[in-house]
């Protein structure tokens, strides 16, 4: 359904990405921000699913500045390699590359953003800093608590797993306390990565509910 694309950031850097368009003309677009595993099959599938819902979906390859076209699976060995990309994350660069994706689809109506893991944190940061967005959704973003003093400029919805070993529930409560205007959902028994069916931590009931909530949120705000 989708195709590989090239995007250009404000500093002139050219990065790759994946774009999926719906069969019928779209009235809105959604930027999809990857986990630490690159624009892999899971992220491309998210784009394809969003296109099936009538959105233009685009996923910028935000690790291209480090390793072009990096993609990974979820074995322990692959996770260890992928983690090196976030040892010292360059947030401004990732936001520049996210803005390039926003700009690429702004002509197709309102733009939302959704991100997973690292991408959940990027999606939240984008909601607080980047122009051109109308709504933001973040899944299990571990750095969101560090950005929680920053108020989103657009309606924002967040999803966390109750049993996420990397995101204490105390962090989720801090986010709720600092950002009462943000919708925050916690899924009982769910672990980190519960929304990805390629991971051992996949939790179908939680993933299905979170997806339904995300789609309803975008339907309400991308019009």
Q: Report, as residue numbers or ranges, the catalytic residues.
A: 117, 164, 192
Residue entry with tokens 């950031």:
9
Angle at 110 between CA 152 and CA 25, to 5 degrees: 155
């Amino acid at each position: 359904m989708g195709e590989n694309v090239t995007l250009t950031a404000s500093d002139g850097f050219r990065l790759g990405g994946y774009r999926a368009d719906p069969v019928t003309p779209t009235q809105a677009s959604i930027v999809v921000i990857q986990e630490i595993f690159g624009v892999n099959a899971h992220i491309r599938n998210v784009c394809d699913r969003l296109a099936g819902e009538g959105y233009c979906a685009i996923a910028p390859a935000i690790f291209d500045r480090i390793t072009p076209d990096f993609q990974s699976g979820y074995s322990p060995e692959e996770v260890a390699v992928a983690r090196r990309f976030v040892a010292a994350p360059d947030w401004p660069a990732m936001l520049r590359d996210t803005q390039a994706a926003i700009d690429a689809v702004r002509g197709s109506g309102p733009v939302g953003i959704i991100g997973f893991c690292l991408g959940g944190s990027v999606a939240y940061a984008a909601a607080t800093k980047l122009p051109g967005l109308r709504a933001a959704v973040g899944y299990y973003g571990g750095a969101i608590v560090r950005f929680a003093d920053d108020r989103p400029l657009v309606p924002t919805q967040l999803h966390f797993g109750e049993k996420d070993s990397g995101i204490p529930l105390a962090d989720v409560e801090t986010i709720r306390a600092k950002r009462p205007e943000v919708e925050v959902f916690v899924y009982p028994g769910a672990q980190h990565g519960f929304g990805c069916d390629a991971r051992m931590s996949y939790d179908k009931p939680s993933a299905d509910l979170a997806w339904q909530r995300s789609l309803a949120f975008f339907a309400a705000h991308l019009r």
